[in-house]
Structures are given as structure tokens and as C-alpha cells.
Amino acid sequence: MTCIGNSGNLHDPQIDELITKHDLVVASVLSGNRNFEGRVHPLTRANYLASPPLVVAYALAGTVDVDFEKDPVGKDKDGNAVFLRDIWPSRKQVAETVQAVVTPSLFKEFYGNTLTRNERWNALEAPTGDLFAWSDESTYIHHPPFFQGMTKDVPTTVAPIENARVLALFGDSVTTDHISPAGNIAKSSVAARFLAENGVAQKDFNSYGSRRGNDHVMARGTFANVRLVNKLVEKPGPMTTHIPSGEVLPIYDAASRYIEAGTPSIILAGKEYGSGSSRDWAAKGPYLQGIKAVIAQSYERIHRSNLLGMGILPLQFQADEGSESLGLTGHEEYSFEFGGDTLAVGQAIKVHSKAADGTTKSFDVKCRLDTEPEVAYYMNGGILRYVLRKLI
């Protein structure tokens, strides 16, 4: 019954240690749609979907290496083998149970006093007024910077992207679970460091889901998945190589350096970039990390829309091209031939890359602003600013 990775820690810390020490591939079985690597728990790589009764059956068996036709799920009190067929309810039994338990009175009792039954909630003092009373001290809710620096006037030109660095170089099937902050906040993470610096004890770190209202935490949790494979570093994890220093850093720290230096950053990716659950922080987080564009071989439909909705330009390699076929290492500088008012639906954009030794390459990509409204969103710096200007 958990979502966004809120399943918590494994019962025994020694299990975590053994999985990490021996690099074990461990599995979960679930009936939801969170079957992505590291989603149920950061250390679960293999996740299988099954019906709720089968989830219970696998839990009883204690392993996914089981054939329910031949292998027992356990033993009864007398030591006799119990098979799945022995405990699987008939349709009649299920119907009778639903009829007896799921009654109108159940819903009337639960929803009849929804607004009054939580005494602690009712006792909370809430400020009044037209504006929310933001607190810089809160590590749960913080005033996000999405509207800082904007004017009332709609921009008529777009800023060019020049001399950009690659924050991460990905292969195929990087999901929103790899990108978006989800699950528990690891004690060794950049987000944990931020919370500790702000007086939060480790036992109170909680999860990214509970702190999704704080942009400081969520920006640090973006690309923080322990199974993330970034080709700029040797091992999976939330790390990258800062260019041109060559220093290996957490992705957030490298992004912060680029922002401080006034250097735009981009992402290079393979096929199906952003597949999985369409979560807004998979676009908001990269925006806060200063990412200006993504060049991928293909996109998940909604994630592409979310990127441009945050003012990040989605670009697509030409057919049969990608970073590998073009010989791109991710250590180059990238400049894009667009800017001013030259931005249109599906237009071709020339990209120039320059390696450290001075070697240059040029290639065309397709602008994945697919409709005129999407061009308008991007021109406004994202859909949030577009809507606010419309309201004004």
C-alpha cells in the first residue's frame, strides 16, 4: 500500500549490508506499478508484478525461485506441505467475503466524519490571508524559485545555449525513477547532508515523498538513484565527472558548480528517456540543477512534455544516430545554433561539439517542441510562467 518508495528500511540492517557487500541481485514482488529498479527499496534490482494473492503467496514462500505447481508455499502446524492450490480461495468464497464485509455502512461510517475525526489536524493553527506564510526554516515546505526573476512581459526571444557541459551521459531506458527523487533519503546522500546541516536528525530524514514541498531537498535528490548508470563514471550511482576539472562528484554538486560558473549543462541520453511514472519532479529537479536541454534518441511522451513545461529544451538525435555512433564522450563543450526568435515546431537545430584537444564535430538534432502551444510554453520559460502571465 505504499507509493513513491515509502516502503521504509528492511527489517534487519544486516540484510542491507550483505546485499551491498556481495552485490546481490534481490527481488521484490508487488501488485502496484512500481516495478522499476530500486523503486520498492533502493537495493531491490528485480521487481515483479503479480496479483495481490500471488504477492502473499510469494511472501509465504520467501523466494521468487519457486514453482507453485510443484513447490509448497510452506507447512502447516503438523509439518505437512501446503500448496498454493490448498489455500487459494474459490470465486464463491471471495464473493461471500466481499458481500459480508464491504457494506454501505462501512463507507458511511468512514466518510461521514472525514472532516472532524482527526483531532490533531483540527487543533492545528493555520494562518489566514491571501499569501502563504513561507518559512525558510522549514525542511518540509519551502518557497520554490520557479518564478524568481520573471517579468510580466512575455519574452519575444529565447536565450542561446552555448559552451554547455554534459552533466550526465545515459544509455537506453533511463526512467523517471532514476531521475526523480523517490524513496527513503539515504544517510550518505547530498539531501541527507543538507538536512543534517539544518539540524534534522537521521531518524527524522523521512522520505523524498514526504519532503516533496522543499525544493532544496528535491533538487539534491534528483538523479540520486543508487542504480543510475551514468557513462561519465565507472560505477552505478548518483555520481558524475565534473568537466573540465575531471573530479568525480555527486551529480547535484557538479550541477551546482556549473551554475556558480555560469555554465549551462545538458543531458545526453539513449532511447525511451523518461519512461515510467510521469512525475513532475523528474522535470522540476533537472530544472533546479540548471539543465538547459536534453538530447535523446527518443522520449517517453509525457516526460518530454514535462521537460519543455519546465523550460528544458527536448532535442532528439536523427534516426539511427546517438551519442555512441557520433563518437560523443560527454567531455565536450556543446553549442546550439538557435536563439533570438528562431525557434519553431520540429525545426532542425545544428549542434557543435568541441573536445578538449580542439577537435570539433557538428550534427543535426530535431527540436521536440511538437506544437505551437509548446513553443509558447518554452518561450515563456515553462508552463508555470506561461500560466502566471496569462492570469496577470
Q: Which domains are delineated in the chain?
A: 13-111 (3.30.499.10), 164-180+222-391 (3.20.19.10)
Other Cβ atoms within 10 Å of 32 Cβ, number? 14
Helix and strand element counts for the chain (H, E): 14, 13
One-letter identity of residue 334: Y
The single-letter DSSP state of residue 216 is H
- Within the chain, residue ranges assigned H as helices are 13-22, 52-61, 84-87, 91-101, 104-111, 119-122, 176-179, 190-197, 215-221, 251-261, 281-288, 301-309, 372-379, 383-391
* Predicted local distance difference test score (pLDDT) of residue 41: 78
How far is the C-alpha of 244 from the C-alpha of 236, rounded, in Å?
Answer: 21
Judging by DSSP bridges, how do beta strands 265-268 and 239-241 pair with one another? Answer: unpaired
Does this model's pTM top 0.95? My answer is no
- The grid coordinates listed for 206 are 523521512
pLDDT at residue 13, rounded to an integer: 84
The pLDDT value given to residue 11: 77
The predicted pLDDT at position 360 comes to 96
CA 283 to CA 294: how far, in whole Å? 11
pLDDT in tens, the chain (392 residues): 556 656 667 778 899 899 989 989 999 898 877 677 777 777 888 889 999 899 999 999 999 999 999 999 999 999 999 999 999 999 999 999 999 999 999 999 889 888 888 889 889 988 889 999 899 899 999 999 999 889 999 888 888 999 999 999 999 999 998 999 887 888 889 999 999 999 999 999 988 888 999 999 999 999 998 889 999 999 999 999 999 999 999 999 999 999 999 999 999 999 999 998 767 899 999 999 999 999 999 999 999 999 999 999 999 999 999 999 999 999 999 999 987 677 899 999 999 999 999 999 999 999 999 999 999 999 999 999 999 999 98
Q: Are 189 and 221 spatial neighbours (Cβ–Cβ below 8 Å)?
A: yes
DSSP, residue by residue, 228-261 = ---TTSSSSSSEEE-TTT--EEEHHHHHHHHHHH
What CA–CA distance (Å, rounded) separates 292 from 266? 6
CB 213 within 8 A of CB 139: no
**Model pLDDT, residue 3:** 63
Asked if residue 177 lies in contact with residue 225, where contact means CB atoms within 8 angstroms, the answer is: yes
Residue type, 146: F
Distance CA 166, CA 289 (A): 12
Say if CB 173 and CB 272 are below 8 A apart: yes
Backbone angles phi, psi at 390, to 5 degrees: -65, -40
Cell triple for 302: 509525457
Cβ-contact 191, 209 below 8 angstroms: no
